[in-house]
Amino acid sequence: MLMKKYDLLSNKAENFMANNEIEKNLSTALSLSKNEAYLKEVIEKARQAKGLSPIEATSLLLSNFEMINQSILEIAQTIKEDYYGNRIVLFAPLYLSNYCVNSCTYCPYHISNKTMPRKKMTQTEIKQEIYALLEMGHKRLALELGEDPVHNPISYVLESIETIYSIIHSSGEIRRVNVNIAATSAENYKLLQQAEIGTYILFQETYNQKNYELLHPRGPKSDYAYHTEAMDRAITGGLEDVGLGVLFGLHNYAYEFMGLLMHSLHLEKTYGIGPHTISVPRLCPADGIDVNSFSNALPDDIFLKIIALLRISIPYTGLIISTREKSLVREKALSLGISQISGGSKTTVGGYSVYSNPKDTAQFDISDNRTLDEIVYWLMKNGHIPSFCTSCYGKHRQGEDFMKICKSKQISQFCTPNALLTLQEYLNNYASKETKDLGIELLKKELQKISGVRKTIIENRLKHLNQTGNVVFF
Ligand code: SAM
């Protein structure tokens, strides 16, 4: 591979994600990771909660000093509280279609998997799925599809979004649709923006070009540059909230961590918009996918350290963990800076209500199979406020504006009251008796932490919600 010239502000992957620059930065971080005096300085900088550079953060990741590791965990916890308070936002994935023309070697949707039945939901089936999700209490979705220009063209995605937003049901409505579809053109991103999606999410899978090409041997996704430049096209197309992620387990974790931070910095410096969210999926067993054939499995302790360091390095970003992880890992991850989780999820097409065979089209095996109500209960038991808030999008707190509010730590002024309101809405309409009882106690406790006019305004809006059923967001 040719040596590429690194340029943070270029929109070409060969420059802003020059792999030789990742390697150079990694070797600098590795030597700094042995220098305790330097690491202590970085820890002091981390305490200021203004973020860390990719090299600083990766040197902490590669370090092995007990005291440094302890400080990382403590600081991450404090930053999460300072920026977002103790609320955790809930969402559900919705798999629309598993038709796919790609050949990703880790994904069961790959084109040569002939044993997996292929399904694509009709608009009527999508409605049925939405009713099931609404009855559970969900308000926020992440749409998931394989890449297939014939079965899943952009017109199908747009029609499905329109169907979802048009549903007003006795159990509520979906208020925010995030979209995770394959890299596409700036024109298609513009169409998604016009369809009023929330965040556009795309996982890089791996930042290492050579490995990326081995893992994606054929199909449109095999083009590393087109995939890596997707967020540049998305932002140019008008989407202001973009979500990054790598699939941990495909390549060396320090390399991926460095790549993620360099990608975030590139977006922030070039467009003034860093990642709205970062997801931390780990490779899971799935139909025909043997995780043991991938040699970069990420142990739990390093996985949790990565989460803590992402929180410290990019304090303003939302951090998402899915049901790929077991409840115990999710519990630890929550205290280290995760701000959004999925709950009651199905990774099968039509899995919430339409199709009976629960596993035949699953994208990966779920490790946390609890219902949404059980997740809400568990969050509250662990001192978090479960939140179904979707307010930022409706109030145009997006992109650069969102970053500004978040960086100045003002976002929790919105997040906490909105979490309380949407929790009350959940308790009124969807919760089991046990969850409701615990929720009422939690609301009382949380309100005691607030004082003055602010408390009165929140109490008035809670009263209004209880009388009318309507949430008036902050
Ligand atoms: N087709 C789109 C794309 O290619 O980006 C949407 C992605 S797919 C529905 C969502 C994500 O699932 C992928 O980006 C990948 O990271 C993840 N995934 C695929 N196989 C997986 C596995 N075996 N375990 C865990 N996650 C997996």
pLDDT in tens, 187-199: 999 999 999 999 9
Quick one: average pLDDT of 143-156? 98
Ligand 1 pocket residue status of 294, Cβ below 6 Å: no
Query: Hey, which of 121, 143, 223, 363 would you mutate to test ligand 1's pocket, going by the most ligand atoms within 8 Å of its Cβ?
Result: 363
Cβ(435) to ligand 1 under 6 A? no
Q: Using 50, 70 and 90 to split pLDDT, how confident is the model at 145?
A: very high
Strand (E) or helix (H) holding 125: helix 123-136
pLDDT at residue 1, as a whole number = 53
**How far lies 19's CA from each of 12, 27, 157, 174, 332, in Å?**
12, 13, 33, 40, 32
Mean pLDDT score, 242-254? 98
Distance CA 347, CA 144 (A): 9
Mean pLDDT for 243-256 is: 98
Task: Answer whether 243 contacts ligand 1 (Cβ < 6 A).
Answer: no
Cβ 363 under 6 angstroms from ligand 1 = yes
CB distance 277 to 243 below 8 Å: yes
pLDDT score at 467: 96
Q: How far is CA 450 from CA 438, 455, 470, in A?
A: 19, 6, 22
What is the model's pLDDT at position 124? 98
Helix (H, G, I), strand (E, B) or coil at 142: strand
Confidence of residue 307 (pLDDT cuts 50, 70, 90): very high
What is the pLDDT, as a whole number, of residue 32? 98
d(CA 377, CA 380): 5
- Cα of 109 from ligand 1 centre, angstroms: 9
pLDDT band, very low/low/confident/very high, at 201 (cuts 50, 70, 90): very high
CB distance 146 to ligand 1 below 6 Å: yes
CB 363 within 8 A of CB 347: yes
* C-alpha–C-alpha distance, residues 283 and 289, integer Å: 10
Q: How far is the CA of 463 from the centre of ligand 1 (A)?
A: 42
107 C-alpha to center of ligand 1: Å?
A: 6
Q: What is the pLDDT of residue 368?
A: 87
Interval 411-440: pLDDT, tens: 667 889 999 999 999 999 999 999 999 999
The model scores a pTM over 0.85: yes
Please name which of 167, 161, 233, 156 lies closest in space to residue 196, comparing C-alpha atoms.
Answer: 161
Q: Is the CB of 99 under 6 A from ligand 1?
A: no
Of the chain, the percentage scoring pLDDT greater than 90 comes to: 86
- Ligand 1: residue whose CA is nearest its atom 4: 182
Residue 377's pLDDT band (boundaries 50, 70, 90)?
A: very high
362 contacts 348 by C-beta, under 8 angstroms: yes
Strand partners for 87: 385
Q: What is the mean pLDDT of residues 13-42?
A: 98
> Hey, whose CA ends up nearest to atom 13 of ligand 1?
203
Q: Which two tokens stand for residue 119?
A: 């399904």
Q: Decide: 216 in ligand 1 pocket, CB within 6 A.
A: no
pLDDT at 411: 67
| Ligand 1 atom 14, closest CA | 203
Answer yes or no: is the C-beta of 98 below 6 A from any ligand 1 atom. Answer: no
Q: Per-residue DSSP letters for 215-278?
A: H--SSGGG-HHHHHTHHHHHHHTT---EEEEB-BTSS-HHHHHHHHHHHHHHHHHHHS---SEE
> Is residue 202 in contact with ligand 1, taking CB distance under 6 Å?
yes
Q: What is the mean pLDDT of residues 308-318?
A: 96
Q: Do the Cβ atoms of 287 and 365 come closer than 8 Å?
A: no
**pLDDT tens digits, 63-103:** 999 999 999 999 999 999 888 889 999 999 999 999 999 99
pLDDT of residue 141: 98
Angle at 276 between CA 270 and CA 278, to 5 degrees: 105
Quote the mean pLDDT of the chain.
Answer: 94
355 pLDDT higher than 90: no
DSSP 8-state symbol, 356: S
Each residue's pLDDT tens digit, 39-70: 999 999 999 999 999 999 999 999 999 999 99
Atom of ligand 1 nearest to the CA of 284: 24
Nearest ligand 1 atom, CA 285: 23
C-alpha–C-alpha distance, residues 115 and 291, integer Å? 18
Of residues 362 and 24, more confidence is placed in: 24
292: which DSSP letter?
G
Helical residues (DSSP H) of 33-65, grouped into ranges:
36-47, 54-62
Under 8 Å between Cβ of 235 and 273: yes
pLDDT at 457: 94
The region, left, alpha or beta by phi > 0 then psi within -120 to 50, assigned to residue 205 is left
